[in-house]
Each structure stands twice: as structure tokens, then as C-alpha cells.
Amino acid sequence: MQVIEQFIQAKNGDMTTCEDGYIYNENFVAVVDGATNKSGILYDQESPGRIAMTLATKAIEQLEPTINAHAAFNHVNQVLHNYYTKRGIFKAVTENPPLRCTASCVIYSAFRHELWFLGDCMALVDNQSVQFQKEADSVLSNLRALLIHVAISQGTTVNELLEHDTCREQIIPFLNQQATLQNSTYESDFTYYALDGITSIPENHIHVAPLPSNTKEIVLSSDGYPSLKPTLQATEDHLAYILQEDPLCYTLYRSTKGLVQGNLSYDDRVYVRFTR
């Protein structure tokens, strides 16, 4: 495999806080997107999402080349589980989902020539998009958009919301509640799976995408981009357009969070483009 281009950027410009990461070696290319910290808690002075990203990328880098998707994700999940038990916080994170070290992930396996998805990371395979978005995120993105429209109709300005996104604050309780359905045995349209070190990942909740033998280029990214383009420059240009025209991310691109004044983007982001 050959990496053509890669890029990573923290939303606030401080890479020590970035919750996205990637690895590549002769066996795997992977992007890991640590979940945004909604509880405010820190472990070892780092957010749970950053810890999840760091542990997951190291674990993926050391996977056996022939491993399958189910075994790979459960191995990474076990690494997170071990982190909890070592710190003595397993009971606390089990009972309070927002405290968990959680991450989404997409992995390319060179041996199997497959993409493995857990969560909402994205891929582009010869210009064909592959993504699995959480239903709850779609609902809450629409709710936040509704709240922004209501606020603006009552005289609140876009600049005021960029300084203090009260609409984001209003959906935080729902974002925390949705975590109750994370890795839950309760089956519903809103149940979703992620790496969080609590329970094993059922095989039917892992998306495996076998790739055509003639695949030329693959792009992997976190959901810090509104959409993927064939090159980093085109992808960055599209992000810049969204941030310029819709910085709150509620019209052209709906998200559960928008640009915060002083930040570089609405979320951390990572992009890796490579050939087989």
C-alpha cells in the first residue's frame, strides 16, 4: 500500500486535544474518531474521546494481518475495557454512558481487501462514498436546526450563536440520553454500536464492505468533513465553503454542532488517501 496524502487537524488548532487519529502500515489503514466530550470529565488530563482514539490506534497497529473484522473490533474493545479496570472505573462508566471512552472507526484490511466500519467514519472508494450515519444523529441535527431557526426568528443573530450556541446546549441532554442505546441489547432504529470497552460487539453491527479487485484509490476520514472528495484539497475546499456559508452547520450541512468562534472548524478531522 502507498499513502498518497494524509492530514489531521484539531478543531481548535491544539493538536494535543485532537480526538481523531489514524494509522497505516503494510497490513492496515485506519481512521479512529474519538467521541466529542459531552460530560466534561477528563482522565489523565485528557478527554475520554482522545484516550479512546489513542488506545484504539495503537491496538489496530498491532493486529494480526489475517484477523477478521469481528475479532479486530472486539480486540480493540478489550483494550478499552482493560483501561477501565486498571483505573478502577469500570462500574462508573458502565452506569453512566457519557463517561465512556468512545470512538468510531473504519479499517482497511490489506489481507482481506475489505473496509470495516463501526460508527460513522467515512470512506471513498474510487469516488464512491461509503458511510453509515447514526439515525439519532440525524434526528438531533434536525432538532438543532429547528432550534436555530426559532432563535433567529426571535432576533438572535448568527454571530451570537457562534459565540454561544444555546441550541447545541439544548440538545446536549438528548445526546447524553442517546448514549443509553450505545452498544445496547435493546434493538431499535436508534441503537448503535461503537468502541467503548463495555460489551463485545455483535458481528451483525459491524459493516464489512468487500472491495472490487480492481480498486485503485481509497480515502478514509472521520466525520469532521461534510463530505469526501477524491483529493484532500477538494475536500478541504468543500469544508471551507461550508464554514464560510453555513458556519453554524444548520442549512447547507446539518450537524449536532457548529463552528465555535475562534475555532478552525466544527470538529476535529483526519483524511487519509491511499492506493493498494
- Min mean pLDDT across 69-73, 173-177, 206-210, 233-237 is at 173-177
Burial of residue 205 (number of CB atoms within 10 Å: 0-12, 13-18, 19+): middle
Residue-range definition of the domain harbouring residue 97: 2-275
Over range 58-72, report the average pLDDT.
97
DSSP assignment of 8-59, as one string?
Answer: EE-TTS-GGG--EEEEE-SSEEEEEEEPP-SS---BTTB-HHHHHHHHHHHH
Determine the Cα–Cα distance for residues 248 and 239; give it in Å rounded to an integer: 13
* Residue 61 clears pLDDT 90, i.e. is over it: yes
SS3 71: helix
pLDDT at 40: 86
Over range 104-129, report the average pLDDT.
97
Q: Residue 126: pLDDT band by 50, 70, 90 thresholds?
A: very high
pLDDT tens-digit map of 166-187: 999 999 999 999 989 988 889 8
pLDDT tens-digit map of 214-251: 999 999 999 999 999 999 999 999 999 999 999 999 99
pLDDT at 133: 87
Over range 162-168, report the average pLDDT.
97
More confident residue, 9 or 98: 9
Percent of the chain with pLDDT over 90: 90
Number of domains in the chain: 1
pLDDT at 112: 97
pLDDT at 199: 86
SS3 260: coil
Burial of residue 227 (number of CB atoms within 10 Å: 0-12, 13-18, 19+): middle
Q: Residue 209: pLDDT band by 50, 70, 90 thresholds?
A: very high
* Residue 94 clears pLDDT 90, i.e. is over it: yes
* Residue 204 clears pLDDT 90, i.e. is over it: no
pLDDT at 72: 98
Q: Residue 276: pLDDT band by 50, 70, 90 thresholds?
A: confident
* Residue 1 clears pLDDT 90, i.e. is over it: no
pLDDT at 46: 95
CATH number of the domain residue 12 falls in: 3.60.40.10
Average pLDDT, the chain: 95
pLDDT at 38: 82
Over range 193-213, report the average pLDDT.
93
Of the candidates 40, 50, 43, which has an alpha carbon nearest to the alpha carbon of residue 17? 50
pLDDT tens-digit map of 19-44: 999 999 999 999 999 998 888 899 98
pTM of the predicted structure, to 2 decimals: 0.95
